[in-house]
Amino acid sequence: MGGAGPVLALLAWFGAGAEALDNGLALTPTMGWLHWERFLCNTDCRAQPQACVSEQLFMQMADIMVSEGWKDAGYQYVCIDDCWMAPARDEDGRLRADPDRFPGGIRRLANYVHSKGLKLGIYEDVGNHTCAGYPGSFGAYELDAQTFADWGVDLLKFDGCYCDSLERLAEGYRRMSLALNGTGRSIVYSCEWPLYLRPFQKPNYTEIRQYCNHWRNFGDIFDSWDSIKSILDWTASNQDSIVGAAGPGGWNDPDMLVIGNFGLSWDQQVTQMALWAIMAAPLFMSNDLRQISPQAKALLQNREVIAINQDPLGRQGYRLSKEDNFDLWERPLSNLMWAVAMVNRQEIGGPQGYSLPLSVLGNGLACNPSCLITRLLPTRAELGLYSWVDILSQQVNPTGTVLLRLEAPLQPRRTQSGGRLRRPIL
């Protein structure tokens, strides 16, 4: 179990406490639904009325988010991605929704979503066009921010396509942030600034955090295990520069949850849910809530896993070690609790045993002198009381994850309902 050095460095970083965008939003990672990964730029409502980007799609998702327990679980933002617009601005230069697919316009859709107690997200781009070729916001940041505010929009995902210089990219992201603030409306600002900057220069996360509520660092997610793996590996390889940037008000965004779609096995879906909780990621599902398996629904609505994602301390987790096909991640939580994930990266064979010396966790502090351990995924079990010299053994399926929560045994709130005594407290 190596890695004490990097962990020490990460813990030291946390003291920095860089200032977040001061709009009072995203104090915990934003939760909601976003159309992109599942519905892409499908504008053919004649051929595919149920799967095209239209007001009906968002109204149906809003209905189900309320009736099927998603809202109660914390998913609040119903978000539109690219391809909602008419191909050109109106005669006053204002953006408008495609009149065939959004006959009521965005304001009426926002009213509908608000009537359900939910919030509406929308999409634009810092450059001359959106990634799919619709009108971009370049040259109209203030006008577009005001248009979104007038419509009652609550979140803006701001993409970075068709921008011809790094100066204009940075200037555009800053100006849109100030323009949103200038409207006086509370609007979550979701950026892709570091993603577009990174090929050319090292992003300044102190600055990005001052302007954005979350920011994408890495390319779009796909509905595949390869995609999940590449995001986890990228995040772990860059954790020294990104983990310290996350905290209440500003988060690294590893992109949408694809749980409930086609490309991930059950164990891979468990891995995505567990690791998005460890990474303090915004939780934007991109799936079809009208047709989702009970198993995927239960995973996405797992209250205890969501509580780890939403932990008020707001520290992002990190990979502690990588050896023998196992990745070990940990995340410090409030009330001296810790979340721990064991990921089996072997893509052959059956379940593998993993033996974890508890003394390696949290720089030796996570289970010291003892802790109560609950397994949350793939199935819930109260594993009981452990001492810091103990070794915890778990079986983990190929490409699957065991997610654990460790807590101090002396909290009365927990010990009453908590695990049986497996060993005497030291």
Ligand X SMILES: *[C@@H]1O[C@H](CO)[C@@H](O)[C@H](O)[C@H]1NC(C)=O
User: Would you tell me which residues interact with ligand X (CB under 6 A)?
Assistant: 22-23, 127-128, 138, 162-164, 168, 181, 184, 186, 204, 206-207
Closest CA relative to residue 313, chosen from 339, 281, 335, 330: 335
Judged by beta carbon, residue 128 or residue 241, the one nearer ligand X is 128
CB 208 within 8 A of CB 244: no
Per DSSP, the three-state class of 148 is helix
Judged by beta carbon, residue 138 or residue 329, the one nearer ligand X is 138
Minimum gap (Å) between residue 324 Cβ and ligand X: 38
Minimum gap (Å) between residue 22 Cβ and ligand X: 4
Closest CA relative to residue 10, chosen from 314, 288, 317: 317
Judged by beta carbon, residue 128 or residue 325, the one nearer ligand X is 128
The tokens for 82 are 């690219």
Judged by beta carbon, residue 26 or residue 65, the one nearer ligand X is 26
Minimum gap (Å) between residue 147 Cβ and ligand X: 16
Strand order in the sheet with 31-34: 251-253, 214-216, 188-191, 155-159, 119-125, 77-79, 31-34, 283-285
Residues classed as catalytic = 159, 220
Strand order in the sheet with 338-344: 318-323, 326-332, 338-344, 401-407, 370-377, 381-387
Judged by beta carbon, residue 50 or residue 206, the one nearer ligand X is 206
Minimum gap (Å) between residue 63 Cβ and ligand X: 29
Please tell me the distance from the alpha carbon of residue 273 to that of residue 312, in angstroms, as a whole number.
18
Minimum gap (Å) between residue 265 Cβ and ligand X: 42
For the chain, how big is the Rg over CA atoms in Å?
Answer: 22
Please tell me the distance from the alpha carbon of residue 33 to that of residue 290, in angstroms, as a whole number.
13
Minimum gap (Å) between residue 178 Cβ and ligand X: 8
Closest CA relative to residue 59, chosen from 99, 106, 124, 95: 106
Judged by beta carbon, residue 201 or residue 291, the one nearer ligand X is 201
Closest CA relative to residue 404, chosen from 314, 331, 326, 303: 331
